[in-house]
């Protein structure tokens, strides 16, 4: 794909994200996305067959960006500070990007009924769990025998805590993250002890 085509595609994905986050999947149209991007609806259809395909591209781009961010964190944050930094990131993301979480939850419901969207959500889940497991390994200094299971649990906790904070403004998100952090650190320590670091 040529640079101009990549740039146009990226512009359409960014516009789709804004419109989808603001209006929701059911209430937005290709025309709305084209208007946001400043292009004709025909150009959107040139790059994406339908709204579902565009939605999957939005999810993939957001997932890629998150994975790059987490990789950079693992490379730049000192090992003894990585656990705290990695737990602070989803807490801050929940606070500053509520619209993205609302779109995510809408995606999850759509994925139950739409195979095209399901494949994008499955990739989001897989890559999210893998990124968390890589972070657990970096904190521990080695792979842990139950690291993949713990990454699945942490991923579910991050998603569930964000949902609770969106639904209930009085929910103590910081308190829940404090407890979750203690549990995660205890898990890593117990694994290292049982595996004889």
Does the pLDDT at position 1 exceed 70? no
Q: How many helices (H) and strands (E) does the chain have?
A: 9, 0
Average pLDDT over residues 143-172: 94
Of 171 and 117, more confident = 171
Query: What is the rounded CA–CA span in Å between residue 103 and residue 51?
Result: 14
Does the pLDDT at position 197 exceed 60? no
**Nearest Cα residue to 36 out of 13, 5, 65:** 13
| pTM, rounded to two decimals | 0.86
Average pLDDT over residues 100-121: 88
Contacts by 37-41 with C-beta closer than 8 Å and gap 24+? 37/11, 37/12, 39/8, 39/11, 39/12
Domains and CATH numbers, the chain: 1-48 (1.10.10.60), 59-194 (1.10.357.10)
Q: Is 139 exposed, middle or buried (0-12, 13-18, 19+ CB in 10 A)?
A: buried
Query: What is the rounded CA–CA span in Å between residue 6 and residue 170?
Result: 43
Average pLDDT over residues 148-159: 95
């Amino acid at each position: 794909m040529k640079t101009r085509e990549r740039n146009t595609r990226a512009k359409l994905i960014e516009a789709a994200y804004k419109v989808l986050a603001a209006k929701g999947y059911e209430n937005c149209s290709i025309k709305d996305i084209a208007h946001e991007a400043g292009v004709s609806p025909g150009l959107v259809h040139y790059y994406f067959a339908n709204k579902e395909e565009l939605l999957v591209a939005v999810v993939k781009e957001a997932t890629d960006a998150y994975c790059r961010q987490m990789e950079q964190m693992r490379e730049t944050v000192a090992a003894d500070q990585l656990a705290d930094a990695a737990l602070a990131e989803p807490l801050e993301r929940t606070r500053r990007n509520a619209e993205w979480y609302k779109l995510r939850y809408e995606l999850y419901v759509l994925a139950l009924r739409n195979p095209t969207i399901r494949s994008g959500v499955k990739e989001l889940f897989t890559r999210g769990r893998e990124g968390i497991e890589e972070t657990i390994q970096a904190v521990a200094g080695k792979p842990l025998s139950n690291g993949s299971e713990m990454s699945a649990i942490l991923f579910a906790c991050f998603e569930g805590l964000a949902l609770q904070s969106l639904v209930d403004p009085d929910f103590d998100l910081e308190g829940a993250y404090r407890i979750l952090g203690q549990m995660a650190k205890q898990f890593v320590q117990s694994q290292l002890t049982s595996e004889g670091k």
